[in-house]
Amino acid sequence: MTKQKTARILLINPPVYDLRLDWARWHQPCGLLQVGRLLRLRGTDVRLIDCLQPERNKLERKKLDTVTVDEQNLIRWHFGCSWELIEKQIGLIKDENWKPDAIYVTTMMTFWWESTRDLIHRIRKEWFPRIPIVLGGVYPTLCPGHAKKHIRCADFDLEIADKARIHATDLTLYNQMPYFSGLFLSRRVPPERIVGEIVTKAKLGVREFAFFDNEIGLNHQTRFEKVLDQVIEKELDVKFRALGNISPKVLSGSLVRKMKAAGYRQIFLRDDIALRSNSNGDLSSYERGIELMLKYGGFKPRTEDLTAMVVVGVPGENLNHVVERLTKLAHIVGSVNLVPYQPTPGTEIFEMHKSQLPAELERQNGKLFPFAKVNGATFSDYQQLMRLAALLNSKYHSTTFDFLGNDEIAQMVRKSVAEERWQPRIKETIPLSPR
C-alpha cells in the first residue's frame, strides 16, 4: 500500500507599503498563525515567512516612492523584509528540497494591497510558478471585488479562516520565538483554554501579551476577569499591554486590581467618543477610570503607563472640538495617542460617506486623512494636530507636563501661549552710519 504524501503549505505575511508603521513591534499575523495551527492539526507540513517579524526589535524599511497630498510630497516606505531577503528565504526552503503544494498569503490592511500584489507576482513569475496561491486576511474579506480584479492569479478561501478562529496562534512556526504574542479574548473556547495558551507560550519564552479583540466591552467583563484570575493564580512571569481596546467605562476597582496583579504594565484606553455619533463629548468616564487606575492599580500618573487613544479624521468632526478634547484628555490621562481614522468597508460611517472617498484603495489610507476636505480642513491642519499631540506628550523630569494644571508654571505657559509670546519679535534695523 502506497503511503500518502504529507501535504506542504507555505504561509507568507507580506511586507507593507505605508507612510509609517505604528506599533511595529506589536504587529502579528494572528489569523495566519491560527490557520497554521489548524493545518498542523490536520497533519500538514507548514512553513512560515513573516516579513513583518522584527529582528532585534527593529524592522527594516526602505524608501519606496512619494505620495502627494495638498502639494506636499510624503515618503512612502517598504516596511519589512526586502524582496532580496524574501528570495533568500525562499532559496533556503528550496535547498532543503521542500516544495509547497500551496501558498497561503494574508493582508492585514485593505490599503496594503499593493505589496500583496507584488509578492504574489514574484511568487508566480520567479519563485514557484505553478503552485496554487490562496489569499486571505482583511483585504479580500472587506474588498473582495477589488481583490479579484487586481490579484487575478490567487484563489480566495475565507472558509478555512473561519474554521481556524477557535484555535490558538502557533508561534512555533517561527524559527526564533517572538517576544510578543497576540491573543483573542472572544475566541469561542472556555477561559481555561485561553489561559492554557498563555501558559504554553510563556514556557516557550514569550514575555508580552495583548488581546487583539476590537473591543473588550461590558459584555466581555466577566470572561476577562476569569482569565485574569487564573493568570494571577498561576503566578506567570509575563506582561500584558492593552492596545486601545479597553474602554474606561469597563473599569472597576476590582478589575483594575486584577489587571495589575496579572501583569498589565501599559494601558492605551479606547476612544469612547470619536466613533459614537450619540456621544456628547463627556470625559467623566476617563476621569473616573484614571482615578481607579491610580487608586487600585498603582499606575504612575503622567507616564507611559496610561495613554488615551484619540481617533481623528472621522467625517463630520470639528477640529476645534478635537483640539479641546485632545488637550483635556492630556490633562486627565497624562498622555495621548493620536490615531488616524481608518475607513473600513461595511461599517456604518464608511457606507454613509464612501462616495466622498478617493477611488484608489491605497489613497484611503487613514494616515492621508481622506475625509479632510469633507471636514473643511486640509492635510496640513491634521499635521498641526499631530504636532499638538507631540507637544502635549512632551516630558519634564520623566513625566508629561500638565498644560492645564493649577501650578504657577502651567499658568505662565498658558498665558504665554494666549498672548503669543512665543512668536519671535522682529527688531527694527538701525543703520550703522547715516546716509
Highest mean pLDDT among 139-143, 206-210, 390-394: 206-210
Chain segment 89-123, per-residue pLDDT in tens: 999 999 999 999 999 999 999 999 999 999 999 99
Which of the residue ranges 44-58, 150-164, 228-242 would you say has the lowest mean pLDDT? 150-164
- Residue 3 in this model has a pLDDT that exceeds 80: no
**Amino acid occupying residue 129:** P
Residue 430 has pLDDT above 90, yes or no: no
CB count, 10 Å around CB of 166? 14
Q: Give the span between the Cα atoms of 75 and 253, in whole angstroms.
A: 45
- Per-residue pLDDT of 223-259, as tens digits, reads 999 999 999 999 999 999 999 999 999 999 999 999 9
Q: What is the pLDDT of residue 432?
A: 42
Q: Residue 171: its pLDDT value, please? A: 97
Domains of the chain listed by start with CATH number: 1-176 (3.40.50.280)
Q: Find the mean pLDDT for residues 12-23.
A: 96
Spatial distance between the Cα atoms of 22 and 338, rounded to a whole number of angstroms:
11
109: Cβ contacts below 8 Å, ≥ 6 apart: 16, 138, 139, 342
pLDDT at 188 over 80: yes
Helix axes 319-333, 284-297, angle to 10 degrees: 20
Query: For 24-53, what is the mean pLDDT?
Result: 95
Amino acid identity for residue 297 in this structure: G
pLDDT at 215: 92
pLDDT reading at 423 higher than 70? no
pLDDT band for position 435 (50/70/90)? very low
Least reliable range by pLDDT among 58-72, 225-239, 263-277: 263-277
Q: What are the grid coordinates assigned to 23, written together?
A: 506599533
Q: Can you tell me the mean pLDDT for 142-148?
A: 92
- At residue 295, the pLDDT reads 95
In this structure, the number of other CB atoms found within 10 A of the CB of residue 139 comes to 25
pLDDT tens for 356-387 read: 999 999 999 999 999 999 999 999 999 999 99
Q: Model confidence at 426, in pLDDT bands (50, 70, 90)?
A: very low
Residue 105, classified by CB atoms within 10 Å of its CB into exposed (0-12), middle (13-18) or buried (19+), is: buried
Instruction: Write out pLDDT tens, residues 378-422.
Output: 999 999 999 999 998 887 767 776 767 766 556 655 555 555 443
With CA atoms as reference, report the closest residue to 334 among 294, 295, 392. Answer: 392
Give the long-range contacts of residues 112-115, CB within 8 A, separation 24 or more: 112/14, 112/16, 112/17, 112/18, 112/139, 113/139, 113/143, 113/146, 113/147, 113/150, 113/151, 113/361, 113/362, 114/17, 114/362, 115/14, 115/15, 115/16, 115/17, 115/78
Lowest-pLDDT choice from 54-63, 262-271, 317-326, 327-336: 54-63
Which one is predicted more confidently, 220 or 428?
220
Q: In this predicted structure, what is the pLDDT of residue 409? A: 56
**DSSP string spanning 237-261?**
--EEEEEEEE-GGG--HHHHHHHHH
User: Would you tell me how many other CB atoms lie within 10 Å of the CB of residue 282?
Assistant: 10
Q: Comparing 151-155, 205-209, 356-360, which segment has the lowest mean pLDDT?
A: 151-155
Beta carbons within 10 angstroms of residue 386's beta carbon: 13
Q: Name 372's Cβ contacts closer than 8 Å, sequence gap at least 6.
A: 313, 378, 379, 381, 382
- Can you tell me the distance from the alpha carbon of 330 to that of 333, in angstroms, rounded to the nearest whole number? 5
- The DSSP H or E segment spanning 382 is helix 379-392
Q: CA geometry: angle at 206 spanning 139 and 256, to 5°? A: 85
pTM of this structure: 0.89
DSSP one-letter code for 22: T
Strand partners, 155: 134
Q: Provide the pLDDT for residue 412.
A: 59
Average pLDDT score, the chain:
89
